[in-house]
Amino acid sequence: MPPGTGEVFLRAFKAEAELELWENAKPGEPFVLLRTFPIARLSGKPGPKRREGDGQVPEGFYTIDRFNPNSRFHLSLGLDYPNASDRIRGDKNEPGSDIFIHGSNVSIGCLAMTDPWIEEIYARCAAARDRGQRAIRVHLFPARFGTEAMRALERRYAKDAALLAFWKELEPAYREFERTRRVPPIKVGAEGQYLVGSLAR
């Protein structure tokens, strides 16, 4: 792919084991899907990460806060987990940390992309950072909403009202991006709930 010119945005879907790389022509413009990468390995089960050692890949809304070109997993992009929501809803003493998108094919709470794929993802994100993008956003979903994969999760966890309610908080961000190809504003409420779009303003 030719060198990018705008912002970068990442979306990952745990059930489908896929990570999408999006880019726009310039800040504020709609995003275009550049590539969908298979996730080589992710650990845990559907649902958010709430404590150290649970092996969970998080679900929610994050930004990349670290670039490590010398990772023991080839290259790695660190997420700002725990975010404001996680700090309210997760274990107050040990919510966990060090969640990465990285190379290799092993995972304990991270997205392992293999070395060749992380090279492309890392290069795109680093280039966007160098162009001045201050917050490279990463949305982590249980599955694509409205698909059979998501419906299967909802049937499987039909008795887990709290988990279904959490997923309902995530869905508006997915729907809004699908409609506009722009990342909606997202804030965290007093109880740790995600507020998306007009609710975040």
Active site residue ranges: 102, 110
The rounded distance, in Å, linking the Cα atoms of 102 and 163 is 27
Structure tokens that stand for 31 in this block: 């995003």
Residue 68, CA atoms < 13 Å, CB-side half-sphere: 18
The rounded distance, in Å, linking the Cα atoms of 80 and 24 is 23
E-strand spans in 69-196? 76-79, 100-102, 111-112, 137-141, 186-188, 194-196
Closest by CA to 139, choosing from 21, 25, 38, is: 21
